[in-house]
Amino acid sequence: MVDHDGPAGKAGLQPHDVIIRLNGQNVTGTESLRKMIHDSGVGTGVSLTVLRGGRQITVNAQLAYRGEVEKEAVARMVAADPPATADAPVVDEFGEGDPADAVAPDPASRSRRFLAQVLHMTPFTGLILEAMEPQLAGYFGAPVGVGLLVETVAPNSPAATAGLRAGDVILKADSIDVKSNGTWVRELHETRGRGIVLVVLRDKQQQRMLLIPELKKHSKLVWPMVAGALPLLA
C-alpha cells in the first residue's frame, strides 16, 4: 500500500511498484530499504528506481518525519469536519479496550473522536481488512466493487478460529455483499452475539465460514498507528 499523505504517495509511487534501487544502491529486501532510508535522514531527497508494468522508471521523493505527516493529515481532517456516517473510511485495528482510550486530547481530537466512534462497541473479530482497487480485485479473482481483503488475522481470535487467513477475500456476510468497511461494520453491529456466515474467496475458490465475533472485546483505534521520529518514505 501507499500512504497518499506521505512522501511516497506525493512522489507518485503506486501499489505493486517494485523498488529495486535507492540512490543507485540495490534494494535486497525490506530491511535493506529501511536501513537506507534511516541512513539518509529526514529532509533528504532520494531517487528511487522502480519497476512498473515491466519497465523501469525513476521517482524522486523527500523523506519526512512520520509525526509531521500525520499532523498535516489530521489538520486537513479537522478542516473538512466529516460527518459521522457508517460508510466513512475506518481504521480497523484488532485489540482490547475502548477505542476512546487511544484518543489524545489535542486540537485534532474532534476528528479522532469521529474515527473512534465508528469503531466504538464494534465486536472483536481479530481482522484487519483492506479495501481493494480494481487491479487488486482482479488479481484475487473478486468482482470489482465487492470484497475486502484480509490483511492480518490475530492469533487465537474469532477470525482465526473460523479458519480465515491473510490473503482471503470476504465477499459476503450473511448474504450481504461486503462492498466497504461501512458494510462490514454494520453487519458486525447487527450480530448481537450470533455467528455470521461468510462467503470467502481463497485461491479463487469460494467457501463458507462461520465467524462468531466476541462481544467482550472490541475493535480498537490506535492513533497514531505508528509514532516516532524515524524518516518516513511510505
> Are 118 and 185 within 8 A, CB to CB?
yes
| pLDDT score at 216 | 67
Are 7-64 and 82-225 in the same CATH fold? yes
pLDDT digits (tens, 9 = 90+) for 142-192: 988 899 999 889 888 999 999 999 999 999 999 999 988 888 888 888 877
Most confident region among 51-65, 94-108, 211-225 by mean pLDDT: 51-65
CATH fold for the domain made of 7-64: Pdz3 Domain (2.30.42)
Sign of CA dihedral 152, 232, 136, 17: negative
Residue 232: phi and psi, rounded to 5, are: -115, 130
**Residue whose C-alpha cell is 500525520:** 70
Which amino acid does the sequence have at 227?
A
pTM assigned to the model: 0.47
User: What are the boundaries of each domain within the chain?
Assistant: 7-64, 82-225
Pairing label, strands 196-202, 205-211: antiparallel
Residue 195: phi and psi, rounded to 5, are: -75, 155
CATH annotation of 82-225: 2.30.42.10
Q: Which three cell numbers stand for residue 17?
A: 511498484
Q: Is 192 left (phi over 0), alpha (psi -120 to 50) or beta?
A: left
